[in-house]
Amino acid sequence: MARSSIKAKNNSSMVLKKESSLMKIQKVGIVGCGQMGGGIAQVCAQAGYTILVSESTRELLQKGLAGIAASLERSVKKQNITSQEKDAVLARITGTTDAADFHECDLVIEAVSEVLDLKKRLFTQLDRICPAHALLATNTSSLSVADIASATGRPDKVLGLHFFNPVPSLKLMEIVTAPTTSQATMQAGKGFAKTLGKTAVIVQDSPGFIVNRLMAPQILNAIRLVESGVAAKEDIDTAMMLGLNHPIGPLALADLIGLDTLLTIADSIYDKLGDSQYAAPETLKKLVAAGHLGRKTGSGFYEYL
């Protein structure tokens, strides 16, 4: 009996220790308040975290914060949350244009453009600013977490937390671990995902991770079908929705993701693997060059009012 009591007490202590570790993540910083960063800020604030979100200019920051408010207002209209809950969420979000303000954050999530050098410069800056215990996470959809972590003096505390768009709706989070990511950091990431109501999948640091590695060829092949005149874009999307029970067709999905983001993902994986199925079709390149990036610009494969 005594041994059982000691074992139970030890197990209880381990649980409390884990919970205590997770409770250290109280203030979350998010770099970038665009489509992804704004969505991440919203779900983290809805989970009760104190949020500091940054943008490069005051104009972009105000636009991003307005987007969060609009998203929450839509939830109110759908009766998913109350007006009081919306106000409470917004009260937990503060905006800044000064990266130095991240000095009190326990976790900082980067959601800037998919440019490796940009991300590495940012992580070097965050490494200097953030407290020693803080975790640094990248929302990259295809770049190497190890490469990004190498720009810091805390590679053991760097991981990928890859959210999916739209962040408030999609429940998946890919937790990407580089060879340098510690087990404690990975477990903290899993715990954090759980508090957001996300289902976490663990993936090793590799080009495209799980979802984009599988999704990119499908979308690129749909674009090639359009290019070759096999079928119209509307019929391709309808076929995939009704034939495979997908909620959205691959070309409409490309517009939702952002054609520039899709091109970056494809190029990044192709550069690493040299596999022709990730080679970007000319139509995709031309649309991006023309600034037709999908929903965020009002036109892509489809037109949006």
Domain locations along the chain: 24-204, 211-289
- Nearest-angstrom CA–CA distance, 52 and 296: 24
Assigned CATH topology for domain 24-204 = Rossmann fold (3.40.50)
**Average pLDDT rounded to a whole number, residues 106-118:** 95
Residue-level pLDDT at 9: 40
Could you give the residue numbers annotated as active site? Answer: 141, 162, 174, 212
pTM, rounded to two decimals: 0.87
Q: Using one digit for the tens of pLDDT, what is the confidence trace for 245-284? A: 999 999 999 999 999 999 999 999 999 999 999 999 999 9
Residues 6+ apart with CB under 8 A from 159: 135, 137, 138, 145, 175, 176, 177, 178, 181, 185, 186, 189
Q: Please identify which residue in the block is written with the tokens 């190029």.
A: 267
Beta bridge partners of 176: 160, 203
pLDDT > 70 fraction of the chain, expressed in percent and rounded = 92
Residue-level pLDDT at 305: 81
Can you say whether residue 206 is alpha, beta or left, with left for phi > 0 and alpha for psi between -120 and 50 degrees?
A: beta
Could you say which DSSP state residue 101 is in? G
Among 5-19, 65-79, 136-150, 155-169, whose mean pLDDT is lowest?
5-19
- Residue scoring higher pLDDT (172 or 7): 172
Q: Is 4 a residue whose pLDDT tops 60? A: no
pLDDT > 90 fraction of the chain, expressed in percent and rounded = 90
Q: Using one digit for the tens of pLDDT, what is the confidence trace for 221-235? A: 999 999 999 999 999
In the predicted model, what is the mean pLDDT of the chain?
92
**Average pLDDT rounded to a whole number, residues 58-75:** 97
- Which of these, 69, 153, 159, 61, lies nearest to 107 by C-alpha position? 159
Assigned CATH topology for domain 211-289 = N-(1-d-carboxylethyl)-l-norvaline Dehydrogenase; domain 2 (1.10.1040)
**Average pLDDT rounded to a whole number, residues 67-77:** 97
